[in-house]
Structure 1
Amino acid sequence: MILSLVKAIHIAALIIWCAGLVGLPLMLSKHEIGENQASYSQLRLLTHRAYSYFVTPAAIIAIAAGTALIFLASAFTLWMFVKLLAVGVLVSLHAWIGHLVVLMSERRGRYAPRSALPTLLPIMIAMVAILFLVLGKPALESFAPAWLTQPLGHELPVDETPI
């Protein structure tokens, strides 16, 4: 029961987070240099509030619920660690979008809008990679070098026994 509830929270938060990561670059690219102050302020407030009040909290909830799912389902496999690497890329892109939102608000009408494609392309690649890893659960153990999968028999560099 608890696993299903956490999974539902995780999926709902992911939907909001991913929709925001796709929508915000598109919104930021719609800004035009020389537009009137009212429309600029409206777009600036919309992007700031969407990022601060919806996308970022959804990201935090998705990551927290996903972390709980790892421990609840005992999913300590290689595909999960590769997925976590892709999630790290998504978090980095989330921070980049936040930087773009701040740039737009700090430049007060002098912000030159960028094309959404250079931001959207890595976001979509990371999302597809995460979906592939989660839904396919590929057997990646064959890609790991042998020294990562077998103990080497070395002593620990300290005298204490780990807990």
Structure 2
Amino acid sequence: MIGWLEPVIPHLKALHVIALAVWVGGLFGLPVMLARHDAAIGQADYSRIRLASHISYVWIITPAAVTAIVAGTWLIFLREVFVPWMFAKLVFVALLIGFHAWMGHHIVKLGETDGRHDPPEPGIPLLLLLVPVLVILMLVLWKPDLGDITLPGWLTEPHGRQLPVSDVPR
């Protein structure tokens, strides 16, 4: 660990957890908001719901996602958590990112098709989102020993191959 940055780690963890809560909470809310997009409710209500979902996605949920990912990446390197459970967690974080993009796709389609785009009913997206969220929570809280899985050296050694001073090109 980088010694002089050690006091920053608790603050970085707090930032990561807060941003993650906003991001995932927003991802759980988006399918419900998208289900309310119905041209039959009236133009004023439709415009208000459309604007609320767009602003939520662009100005709250996406910045929270970026903040959570950046803070989490810093934590991985500062804490040198190059272990199999972390790499498994990152696979499920990638699924969260994919879900985030899928919701963004529906928001864009709703804005471009003037009420002709029907977003999915919220039940299936919410179940799809629940899987990676629960797996990430299990991996982070239990930190299972996935010792039978061998990883290549370049994944487990944070500093890579060090050249002796005499071999450094000048």
Corresponding position: 1:117 with 2:120: no
CA–CA distance in structure 2, aligned partners of residues 52 and 104 of structure 1: 14
CA–CA distance in structure 1, aligned partners of residues 120 and 66 of structure 2: 27
Kept in 1: contact 2:106–2:119 (CA 8 A):
no
Kept in 2: contact 1:33–1:112 (CA 8 A):
no
Corresponding position: 1:89 with 2:89: no
List per-residue Cα deviations over 1:106-163 (Å, max 9, x = no partner). Answer: 1112232420122111211100000000000001122x26xx579xxxxxxxxxx9xx
Q: Which runs of 5+ in 1 are unaligned?
A: 151-160
User: What is aligned with 1:130?
Assistant: 136
What's the C-alpha RMSD, in Å, of the aligned pairs? 1.9
Q: SS state of the match for residue 114, structure 2?
A: coil
User: What is aligned with 2:158?
Assistant: none
Corresponding position: 1:8 with 2:8: no
Q: How many residues align?
A: 150
User: What is aligned with 1:104?
Assistant: 110
Runs of 4+ in 1 over 4 A off after TM superposition: none
Q: Which runs of 5+ in 2 are unaligned?
A: 1-6, 154-166
Which of 28, 31, 55 is matched with 2:61 structurally? 55
List per-residue Cα deviations over 1:53-108 (Å, max 9, x = no partner). Answer: 00000000000000000011110000000000000010000000000111111111
Which of 76, 79, 91 is matched with 2:82 structurally? 76
Q: Return the letter of the residue paired with 2:24.
A: C
What is the percentage of aligned positions where both structures have the same residue?
A: 43
Q: Return the letter of the residue paired with 2:125.
A: T
Give the TM-score taking structure 1 as reference length: 0.86
User: What is aligned with 2:40?
Assistant: 34
Kept in 1: contact 2:20–2:65 (CA 8 A):
yes
CA–CA distance in structure 1, aligned partners of residues 93 and 16 of structure 2: 13
CA–CA distance in structure 2, aligned partners of residues 33 and 138 of structure 1: 48
Q: SS state of the match for residue 112, structure 1?
A: coil
Q: Return the letter of the residue paired with 1:128.
A: L
